[in-house]
Every structure is written in C-alpha cells, then in structure tokens.
Amino acid sequence: ALTSIASTKQGVGSATARKIVNRGSVPVFGPPVKLARDVPQLAKFVRDVRAELDRHFAAGKRVLLEGTQGTLLSIHHGFWPSVTSRETSAAGCLSDAGIAPARVRRVILVLRTYPIRVGGTSGWMGREIDMEVVADRSRISIDEFLRVEKGTISGSKRRMAEFDWAQLRRSALLNGATDVAVTFADYLGADNRAASSFDELNENTRMFIERVERVAGAPVTLVSKEFALDGVLEKGFERD
C-alpha cells in the first residue's frame, strides 16, 4: 500500500511503471501511457533535451544538473522498499538528461547536518531523534523547526536523525563526489547565521566539516548557514 511507505501519492511511481509495462497497443497496467507531447497544452514546451544540451556544450557553455530527493532513496541503491521510483544518484541524473558521463567535470554532493525523511512509515534512517532535541542543541526555537521541517508535498512533519557517517561514505562513493556542500549549518548552532566565512563558523561546525572531508574524500567547498539567498559561504569553490 502507498501509505505503508509514506508515498506522496502524486502518481510518479505509477506513471513510471505504466511507461515500462504499457508499451503495446493494449494497456497491461492502468490507463494507456500519455507523454507530454501528447497533451496539447504541453506539446509546445517539448524539446529534444539531449540535442539542446549538446548545442550548449558545443558553444562552450556550462551545464548544471540538480538531482531529485536523495541518493539513499534510489530505486537501486536505497533502503528498498522505502525508496522512490527513480535512480537518484549522479549517474541517474545524467541518464535522465541524456548527458554522457565523460562530459562531467564535477559532482557536488549535498548533505544536511541532520538527515530527514517524510513523516510516517517512510523507512529506515539511522538514529532517529526528536526535533525538539535539535532545537535545543542549536538554540533555534522549536516553532521555527515545526514551520520549516514539513514535507514539501505532503505537508506532514518530517522525521529527523543524527548524522550517519557510514551513509555519507556510501553516498560519496556512489556519486564520485568532487565537492561537498553542507546545508543547515545553523542546526549546529544558530550563531553560524552570523558567519561571513568558514573561519567564523563555530568550533563544532568546523570539526564537523573536517570529518566530512575525511569520510567523503572530497573538500567541503560550500556551506549553507541559513535558509536565505545570501546564506551560502564558499571556500575554494572554483567556478571553472
């Protein structure tokens, strides 16, 4: 049942399954498959993405791909059955976009200081803790946590856990990370919001970053200190 894995019930998994199964003239599972090009309102927006990207590459432009969800929700490498219907690693992003692996120069692994999953029976996530504990540690009000930490689609309160170093290593290897971006540094101390450089982050955060670099085998070049447009600190992040 969808409720047993805390699905957002948006129909993505069902649509993917139908695309795979219903390739004949008679549907095997659910209604016939309809692609975006088959919908008049959407057809005008449809392009050959691979060809568009090839033109950008030929013109010497840079292309940035942003993945969905998290590596450990991968249909192949996640904690099945509590996974999504897609391959969520960097390799999956490239495949979806039609970009050859040889074109990749950098892979930025994005992590949260406290991992989350959607509320309910959404699957394993290590040492789960109460949000109130993180609020107390960070000196951020619990009201702010409850306002921010809600599922984007479901709107339900998220589950939260202690950082998992083994899963960081696994994710770094699966993705071939060249850089790491640490987000929610303010959850390691609200005083980090006032930092204007890596050196101004509190000691606990600097130690956390050093350990991340050792475990991931890649430098932390970006740190998000707060949820704001100007809330990202850079260190050695080359815009090549």
Whether 111 and 221 map to the same domain: the answer is: yes
CA 183 to CA 110: how far, in whole Å? 7
Interval 201-210 mean pLDDT: 98
* 52: in domain: no
Looking at the chain, the whole-number percentage of residues with pLDDT higher than 70 is: 89
Q: Which residues contact 139 (CB under 8 A, 6 or more apart)?
A: 189, 190, 191
Q: How many structural domains does the chain have?
A: 2
Whether 127 and 209 map to the same domain: the answer is: yes
- Token pair listed for 217: 């085998």
Whether 124 and 209 map to the same domain: the answer is: yes
Amino acid, res. 84: T
Of the segments 10-19, 59-68, 155-164, which one has the largest average pLDDT value?
Answer: 59-68
CATH at residue 162: 3.90.170.10
* 120: in domain: yes
* 21: in domain: yes
Looking at the chain, the whole-number percentage of residues with pLDDT higher than 90 is: 60
Q: State whether residue 57 is helix, strand or coil.
A: helix
CA 162 to CA 128: how far, in whole Å? 6
Whether 116 and 222 map to the same domain: the answer is: yes
DSSP code per residue over 100-153: -GGG----EEEEESS-EE-SSS----SSEE-HHHHHHHHT--HHHHHHHSB-TT
Quote the domain boundaries for residue 157: 106-234
* 210: in domain: yes
pLDDT digits (tens, 9 = 90+) for 31-50: 777 788 889 999 999 999 99
Helix, strand, coil percentages, rounded to 5, for the chain: 40, 10, 50
* 86: in domain: no
Q: Which residues contact 200 (CB under 8 A, 6 or more apart)?
A: 194
Q: What is the largest CA-CA distance in the chain?
A: 63
pLDDT at residue 193 greater than cutoff 60? yes
Whether 229 and 110 map to the same domain: the answer is: yes
Whether 191 and 118 map to the same domain: the answer is: yes
* 149: in domain: yes
Whether 42 and 155 map to the same domain: the answer is: no
Prediction pTM value: 0.84
- Token pair listed for 141: 């009000």
pLDDT digits (tens, 9 = 90+) for 119-168: 666 667 779 999 999 999 999 999 999 888 877 666 678 889 999 999 99
Reference 12, options 82, 69, 86, 104; nearest CA is 86
Domain final residue, candidates 11, 29, 46: 46
DSSP code per residue over 66-113: ---S-GGG-TTTSSTTS--SS--SHHHHHHHHT--GGG----EEEEES
* 81: in domain: no
* 76: in domain: no
The confidence score (pLDDT) of residue 152 equals: 66
pLDDT tier at 108 (50, 70, 90 boundaries)? very high
The confidence score (pLDDT) of residue 73 equals: 84
Whether 129 and 38 map to the same domain: the answer is: no
Q: State whether residue 215 is helix, strand or coil.
A: helix
